[in-house]
Structure 1
């Protein structure tokens, strides 16, 4: 009886050792595949960016009006953002999300997110954006060159961002040094 039990324990111990060795060699095997929900991450970033922007005096709009984040061409991100901002405040202001289409007014928009593939819309908007302090966020490889101030970047299957200080300054905005410290890249001199 002892031999049978010893043999069983030895086999179980060997199987356990092999499983642990497999996990050490390939640590990902021990974890389920967690989907990197890019939409949720980008929406969370957009919400957080609002807390690190300093708008000029009197902007963006009346103090009792909500801070509006406009989303152009990225409905899944707009959906996520609507859930995130519900009931929350930034700088003692309520938050609102507005889905935009080409040609829509940007009058009440404090942050404009332009989705992938829609960055060509920035060129016609440049005139309207230059006269107003609007934080422009994109997700195109050349987003900053197209007029974006912050651009999302894929880095090792993670969402990161880069900043154009020159564009931020032209827009009359200031970004917190805490935000700049966590950016993947900061371009220009800006301040």
Structure 2
């Protein structure tokens, strides 16, 4: 079985698309290494923030209930504009947000050890590490290694192999 299987066709905004995004977000947590000191204790949860997508947050809560990533429980936190990103390990920024609001979230995470994920156009230019894209009616993802390096995160080679595209770090 593939680590990141290509799921059934999904139409933008559909329940199936939210389910697939939630499954990917859950899976991503197991394929990222955060720097030492990112967690207060060995059993501290991986906190996944969701900005601008309450329906996805609901789906993600159902997907992570009772599960863990690398021995850590998973916790979902809904974020409202202006809230702090302190304590987050992952942040999903929805395309439903206006560009200025999405940029605020990405800027707040800059230099922090936060895996930023978005489905917004131009999200990698804003600093997102992972971007969801629709290809042939299938949800896929792209990874920006430069943005991951800036966040001091290491992405598993297995996850990179499953990505549609990997933007390499400029040398």
Both proteins in one fold, TM over 0.5: yes
CA contact (8 A) 1:126 1:147 kept: yes
Aligned partner of 2:92 in structure 1 is: 113
**How far apart, CA to CA, are the structure 1 residues paired with 2:107 and 2:101?**
12
CA distance in 2, matches of 1:77, 1:190: 33
Partner of 1:142: 122
Deviation at 1:127, TM superposition (A): 4.7
Looking at structure 2, the residues matched to 190 and 121 of structure 1 have their Cα atoms a distance apart, in angstroms, of 28
1:99 and 2:82 aligned: no
Deviation of residue 88 (structure 1)?
Answer: 0.6
Shifted more, 59-68 versus 159-168: the winner is 59-68
Higher helix proportion: 1
Shift of 1:106: 1.2
Residue matched to 1:20: none
In the other structure, the counterpart of 2:3 is: none
* 1:151 lines up with 2:131 in the alignment: yes
Structure 1 residues 7-46: Cα deviation after superposition (integer angstroms, max 9, x where no partner): xxxxxxxxxxxxxxxxxxxxxxxxxxx8731000000000
Q: Indicate yes or no: 2:57 matched with 1:78.
A: yes
Within a 5 Å distance, the mapping from 1:7-22 to structure 2 comes to none
Secondary structure of the corresponding residue to residue 125 of structure 2: coil
Report the Cα offset of residue 87 of structure 1.
0.6
Q: How many residues align?
A: 158
Aligned with 2:30: secondary structure? helix
Greater RCO (CA < 8 Å, at least 6 residues apart): 2
**Deviation string for 1:32-79 (max 9, x for gaps)?**
xx8731000000000000000010011144322211100000111111
TM-score when normalising by structure 2: 0.86
Larger Rg: 1
2:69 to 90, 106, 116: 90
| Deviation of 1:147 (Å) | 1.2
In the alignment, the residues of structure 1 paired with residue 48 and residue 161 of structure 2 have an alpha-carbon distance, to the nearest angstrom, of 23
